[in-house]
C-alpha cells in the first residue's frame, strides 16, 4: 500500500469507526460542581457538559484554557461597559456549576462523517477536538491525537514506508 492509497483510505474512514467508546469520554452533567470539573481537567484538555448521563444531550464544553476565567476575580473583567461573560464565569463572580462556565454550542460533527470531514472542520475553525454527535446526543469525540494514532496504525498495518 503506497502512502497515497493509505491517505485515501484514512480520509474516507468513518469517524464512528475510530472514536473512543462513549464511556471513556471526559463528561460531566450540567449541574456538576466546578471543583469536579477542575479535577477532570488535571489530566484532560477538555470536559464535555451534558444535560444528563441518561440523555447525553450536549450542552457545551469546558476547555483547559477556560479555567483562566474561572480562577480570575470578577474585577479582572470590569470595563467601562460593565459586566462581561468572563465575569459570570468566575468562581468569585458566582459560577458554581459546569453549565455556568461551559462554552455553549461546541463544534460538532455527525458520527457518520469521514476523517476528511473532521480534518476540514478542524482546520476551518482552528480546533483540535470535535464532539461527535448523533442528533443532539454526544456519542464520542474526535481529536487530532486520535487521528494521528489512527493514521500511524494504518501505515504500520499497511506496511507503508514514509520517506521524506
118 falls within a domain: yes
144 falls within a domain: yes
Residue with cell 475510530: 18
The count of structural domains within the chain is: 1
Query: How far apart, in whole angstroms, are the C-alpha atoms of residue 82 and residue 57?
Result: 33
Q: Between residues 152 and 61, which one has the greater pLDDT?
A: 61
164 falls within a domain: no
What is this structure's pTM?
0.85
Say yes or no to pLDDT of 108 above 70. yes
Say yes or no to pLDDT of 154 above 80. yes
pLDDT tens digits, residue range 39-52? 999 999 999 999 99
68 falls within a domain: yes
**How far from the centroid of its chain's Cα atoms is residue 106's Cα?**
8
70 falls within a domain: yes
Q: Domain limits at 65?
A: 3-158
52 falls within a domain: yes
Q: What is the pLDDT of residue 77?
A: 63
Q: What is the pLDDT of residue 94?
A: 82
CATH number, residue 154: 3.10.580.10
163 falls within a domain: no
Tell me if residue 29 falls in helix, strand or coil: strand
91 falls within a domain: yes
Phi and psi dihedrals of 47, rounded to 5?
Answer: -135, 130
Element at 9 (helix H, strand E): helix 3-12
Q: What is the pLDDT of residue 57?
A: 97
**How far from the centroid of its chain's Cα atoms is residue 117's Cα?**
16
Cell numbers standing for residue 19: 472514536
C-alpha radius of gyration, the chain, whole number: 19
Amino acid at each position: 500500500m503506497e502512502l497515497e492509497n493509505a491517505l485515501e483510505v484514512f480520509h474516507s474512514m468513518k469517524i464512528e469507526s475510530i472514536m473512543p467508546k462513549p464511556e471513556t469520554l471526559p463528561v460531566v452533567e450540567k449541574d456538576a460542581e466546578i471543583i469536579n470539573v477542575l479535577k477532570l481537567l488535571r489530566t484532560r484538555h477538555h470536559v464535555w457538559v451534558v444535560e444528563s448521563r441518561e440523555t447525553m444531550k450536549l450542552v457545551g464544553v469546558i476547555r483547559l484554557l477556560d479555567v483562566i476565567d474561572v480562577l480570575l476575580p470578577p474585577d479582572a473583567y470590569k470595563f467601562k461597559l460593565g459586566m462581561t461573560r468572563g465575569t459570570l464565569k468566575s468562581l468569585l463572580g458566582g459560577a458554581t456549576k459546569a453549565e455556568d462556565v461551559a462554552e455553549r454550542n461546541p463544534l460538532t460533527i455527525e458520527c457518520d462523517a469521514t476523517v476528511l470531514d473532521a480534518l476540514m472542520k478542524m482546520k476551518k475553525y482552528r480546533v483540535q477536538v470535535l464532539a461527535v454527535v448523533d442528533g443532539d446526543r454526544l456519542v464520542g469525540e474526535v481529536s487530532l491525537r486520535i487521528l494521528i494514532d489512527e493514521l500511524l496504525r494504518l501505515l504500520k498495518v499497511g506496511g507503508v514506508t514514509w520517506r521524506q
